[in-house]
Amino acid sequence: MDSLPKKYIPFVSAVKDGIEVLKLNKVKMAELAEKKETTVWAAIILAAPFVINLVLLLIRTTMFVSLQIKILLVPLLTTLAVIFLMSLVAQMLFHAKGDHIAFFRVLGHGSIIMVASIIPYILSILGVVDVMSIFNLINLAAGVWMLVVTYQVLMNYYKLNQQNAIVTIVLGIVGVFIINSILRRILLGPLYQYI
């Protein structure tokens, strides 16, 4: 990192932190949970795929941009809501000792895996037809790995036992479906059934 200009060092550091979270590095997870200055980077990492996909969408077409924005907002808002839902469950049901924002910091950095959702939009620029199926598959795979990361955070940061961590994750999964359905109905109206 010595050869990089100083202005890029925080970005590169945040990306490396996100990769370490994905690698289930417990020390890095604990460090991120406690460093308040990483909150902004967690939010940036979480929102980056939405912004990049939006830019790629605008390069491809200007038709139905409003609908595409709403489609892209659903996974972003669902992820945010479920992070805080699981944190609430851990604290309220299992009296976990921890901070909602610290939980968000770690999972926000771990959401760097969602950068893979850019692939379908790049493919659509190249002319591949069924990008929504690819987009949904990538979101599913990323979501599954985020559950693994979440389990580690619940066990190591919130100090839950295995059973309570699993219950929290199961409730989070149920929450994903409920929140996703509600957001799709609100943002997409009658089209939610087809997307």
According to the model, what pLDDT value does residue 50 have? 85
Note the pLDDT tens digit of each residue in 8-67: 678 889 999 999 999 999 999 999 999 999 999 999 999 998 888 888 877 776 667 777
Region of residue 96 (left: phi > 0; alpha: psi -120 to 50; beta: else):
beta
According to the model, what pLDDT value does residue 119 have? 87
Tell me the pLDDT band of 86, cut-offs 50, 70 and 90: very high
According to the model, what pLDDT value does residue 66 have? 78
Residue 95 predicted with pLDDT over 60: yes
According to the model, what pLDDT value does residue 130 have? 72
